[in-house]
Amino acid sequence: MARIGRGIKAFGRLIWRIVTFPFRLLWRCVCAVGRGIRSVFRAIIRGIKAVYRAIIATPGNTIRGIIRFGKWLYRTALMIRTKVEYLQSESQKWKVFFSTLKAPYSLLRMLGFSPQMALTFLTVGTVAGGAVGVTEVLADKSFSAGDPGIYTAPTDQPIFFEDEFNTLKLDLGTTPVGLIEISDTTVGTAYTGSTLPSGETNGIIIGGMPAVVDPAFTETYLLVGHMIVDRWRCKTLTLTNIEAHELIIQHNSADGISIAPVAGIPRNRGINGGNRAEELKTAYSTYDQIKLTAATSGVNGQVDVLRLTNLYTREPCVIDRVKAGTLEITLNEIGGDTDLATKALVVSNSVVYKKLTNTDNIEVSMTIPAIQ
């Protein structure tokens, strides 16, 4: 009986499984679909979270990227700057070296020797060794630093200098200069312990060169777009052999004045030249003498703006052989003998102008400028 009972139960369970199988299969399908839907929703939620985190993190990542790029750019710029400074220092050494090599020849030419004679001296070796010493080259003198010496555009370094040479001499030629500015400077015997160079009588000399210095020398002029002479203190100031489209002489006081320029038709001018020499500026210096000339035979000096302001000397000052677009002589004090009959400020009849402003120039008795 027991076996029959167990058999009936087993048969009943089989019938039940057969009857409920479609329902169980449907349930499994429903569960599988539910798991799939859940996985899809989870993936969507994960995607939304990832996008959200990316949006939140983007500013920080961007800033960090910019910082990394800035650091890289700074390191690169620093490296480039280091290389450029090194190349500039090497270039400066070579520039001074080559300027030194040509110094003996240039000095001989400035002393009046012909090119052939200068080359002859250099060839036989009579002067080639003594112009500039090694220690002087290493001193790295410059026009902008106010060092005396002989300078030629376009370089800021002198082609000649030595400790005993306290003249500022600037020789201009074929290379035009955009701006030359000399200001706030004492010249000649106006400061304690100074003397004029041997054989010289003028403290300041500006302009070209006459032909009389050498039979083979061709007269030169200083060509200027705008020349400004203001606040000079000289014993005398003489202007000769000048052509100026516009001549302005005003607000000067002098121990005797003679202004006698003549009318003409000088053209207006400005100095171009494309890649001109760098600007030459110096101030707050003391020199035995200042010379700004065109010292090469037949080659006129060229400067667009020449500004000479607050120069103080006890010696005569000379401006000679200048062709200018505009020449201004303003606010100068000239004199030293307390005699109005002798003319301290002289604008000679070799000065030719097209437009003239001559106003408010007065004669005042003056003693010689004091030693500073």
pLDDT for 30-74, tens place per residue? 778 778 788 888 888 887 877 777 777 677 777 777 888 878 887
Q: Is 102's pLDDT higher than 60? A: no
More confident: 87 or 106: 87
- The arithmetic mean of pLDDT across residues 97-102, rounded, is 51
How confident is the model at residue 129, as a pLDDT? Answer: 39
Q: Is 145's pLDDT higher than 60? A: yes
How confident is the model at residue 96, as a pLDDT? Answer: 52
Cα atoms in the 13 Å half-sphere on the side-chain side of 24 = 6
Per-residue pLDDT tens digits for 271-321: 987 778 778 999 999 999 999 999 888 999 999 999 999 999 999 999 999
How confident is the model at residue 182, as a pLDDT? Answer: 96
Q: Which helix (H) or strand (E) holds 241?
A: strand 237-250
Among candidate residues 13, 309, 312, the one with its CA nearest the CA of residue 179: 309
More confident: 137 or 268: 268
Does the global pTM surpass 0.85?
no
**Percentage of the chain lying above the pLDDT 90 cut:** 43
The answer for residues whose C-beta is within 8 angstroms of residue 118's C-beta and 6 or more apart is: 105, 108, 109
Confidence of residue 136 (pLDDT cuts 50, 70, 90): very low
Spell out the alpha helix ranges (H) of 111-150. 115-124, 134-138
Q: Where exactly are the structural domains of the chain?
A: 141-363
Confidence of residue 213 (pLDDT cuts 50, 70, 90): low
Confidence of residue 221 (pLDDT cuts 50, 70, 90): very high
Orientation of helix 115-124 relative to helix 2-110, angle to 10°: 110
**Percentage of the chain lying above the pLDDT 70 cut:** 83
d(CA 332, CA 298): 32
Confidence of residue 98 (pLDDT cuts 50, 70, 90): low
DSSP bridge pairs for 274: none
Q: Is 185's pLDDT higher than 90? A: yes
φ, ψ (nearest 5 deg) of residue 86:
-65, -45
How confident is the model at residue 127, as a pLDDT? Answer: 38
* Whether the Cβ atoms of residue 181 and residue 198 lie closer than 8 Å to each other: no
